[in-house]
Structure 1
Amino acid sequence: MSTAHDFDFFHGEWDTLNRQRTDFLDPDSEWKEFPATNRCWPLFDGAANIDEMDVPGQDWKGLTLRLFDPVAREWSLNWSSSRSGRLFPPVLGRFGADGRGAFHGDDTHDGKDVRVRFLWSGISATTARWEQAFSVDGERTWVTNWIMEFSRRAC
């Protein structure tokens, strides 16, 4: 069952290897890779946090605000980018007994309605993995289109 401390592992500084599809809806499109750094800090005694991702080679930054709902016992993950300056619709979900987090929401991409899935896995003191996938067919199939591999920065 999810708790207000599910994302405590992410507090601190990370080096991040990003892999993105050149077309988020095409499973056969090429992957591009780029490095970034992330810094995450807690709020609300752990029941919220913010992380900022700096992508210096592409001259943009991203931000995620995570909020824990103690009644529903689930998280909302809210993404924004300096490229758009807008807050995207949240994805909602929780961590399971296996330590993996699954979060879902609705959005649009290139004018098409998409179901969005974020998965958190591979969580340890020094590593974590996040991936994003889109579905345009009611979750029958998914196109994984963005993967981040996190490595904790040395102190």
Structure 2
Amino acid sequence: MTINDFDFLVGSWTVVNRRLTKPLTGGDEWDEFPATCTARTFFDGAGSFDEIHFPTKGFSGSALRSFDHEAGEWFIYWVNSRTGHLQPPVSGVFTDGVGSMYGDDQHDGDPVRVRYQWSEITSNTARWEQAFSVDGERTWETNWIMEFTRVDN
């Protein structure tokens, strides 16, 4: 883990999204839709910001990432243009090229444990997943997958 863990994300991306239509219901129907994303770092790599546009969904979102030097971990905050509410943060570290961040949130008014995971990172691709747990992290249901492909080299 370093303050530069998110340097790979700097630049412009096309994104293929797959989102579970009814999370935590046992359903297996996925909605696929496109996005574009632009990311940059600040604080010499200890901060990261991206803006993502979902043109077929009519909204945008932003992630703000900050590295807590004392804790040695990343904190990620998400906000979207539909609500304007800053979501509770997830926090965690990169280990062996995979970033795993955890936090507490709600889904349809019920408490959930949420996990963000960055993996399959190359110079031109990356994968992000969101998963929920309602049983104390014994099991996880992945409900949103983003496949990133770099636009600029």
Question: TM-score range, shorter-chain basis?
Answer: over 0.9
Which residue of structure 2 aligns with residue 76 of structure 1? 75
Q: 1:125 to 1:27 in 2, by over 3 A?
A: farther
Say which SS state the counterpart of residue 5 (structure 1) adopts. coil
Question: In the alignment, which residue of structure 2 is the partner of 1:99?
Answer: 97
1:8 corresponds in structure 2 to 7
Cα distance, 1:152 vs. partner?
0.2
When normalised by structure 1's length, the TM-score is: 0.96
In 1, Cα distance between equivalents of 2:23 and 2:86: 19
Q: 2:140 aligns with which of 136, 139, 142?
A: 142
Give the AA of the match of 2:55: P
Q: CA deviation at 1:123?
A: 0.2
Task: Give me the CA root mean square deviation.
Answer: 0.9
> Which residue does the alignment assign to 2:62?
63
> Which residue number corresponds to residue 114 of structure 1?
112
Residue 54 of structure 1 aligns with which residue? 53
SS at match of 2:56: helix
Q: Which residue of 2 aligns with 1:31?
A: 30
Could you state the TM-score of these two structures normalised by the residue count of structure 2?
0.97
- Taking structure 1 as reference, are residues 73 and 80 closer, same or farther at Cα in structure 2, changes over 3 Å only? same
In structure 2, the residue matched to 1:129 is 127
Matched positions, count: 153
8 Å contact kept, 2:11–2:152: no
CA contact (8 A) 1:103 1:118 kept: yes
Moved more, 20-29 or 47-56: 20-29
What percent identity do the matched residue pairs reach?
A: 54
Deviation at 1:59, TM superposition (A): 1.2
Give 1:81 shift: 0.5
- Gapped runs of 5+ residues in structure 2? none
Deviation at 1:71, TM superposition (A): 1.1
SS in 1 for 2:82: coil
